[in-house]
Structure 1
Amino acid sequence: MANIQYYDVILKPVVTEKSMNAMSEKKYTFLVHPEANKSMIKEAVEKMFEGTEVKTVNTMNLDGKKKRRGYTVGKTAKTKKAIVTLTENSKDIEIFEGL
């Protein structure tokens, strides 16, 4: 396994209608490093966003989609997505407030 630092774990937030509706329940969705595990994701969120306490982390591995250009068939890259649920007395994550 690669040596992954906490700032390399979270790649970017996922901004969809479903993920925005889940924010009312203090659930935030991120694209994460494919080799990151749940404890690494929890540590990264708590270190990167001050005042947050993670309750649970749910992860899912997404396979790449099949793409075709002419006769050439290929696949996009595999990704990993994490849904982080915060505790009731935890602060909200600021990067989602303006969206």
Structure 2
Amino acid sequence: MNVIIPTSLRQHTGGLGIVDVQGLCVDEALLSLVESHPALKPQLLDASGDILSHVNVFVNDTNARDMDAGATPLAESDEILLVPAIAGG
């Protein structure tokens, strides 16, 4: 399945906007992502491996937090979109 990387995080993927990952659930897919692009880990996960509170993970346009969060099951055809909160003024 594909993870869509927002522009603000592409510096951690060598400029890639889409990364192919493996996993049966959101947590496994994110683990696959950070294994292939370790610089993303502190941007997405806390020390215990949980998704940071300011990062939203969408599976086919639905926020994973509105489903089973990291345990949300995935199919190979699913698309994951990462949406980190951006602060500024």
Give the number of the structure whose residues are more often strand, by fraction.
1
- Given the two structures, how large is their TM-score scaled by the length of structure 2? 0.34
- Given the two structures, how large is their TM-score scaled by the length of structure 1? 0.32
Computing the radius of gyration from Cα coordinates, the structure with the larger value is 1
Give the number of the structure whose residues are more often helix, by fraction.
2
For CA contacts below 8 A with separation 6 or more, give which structure has more relative contact order: 2
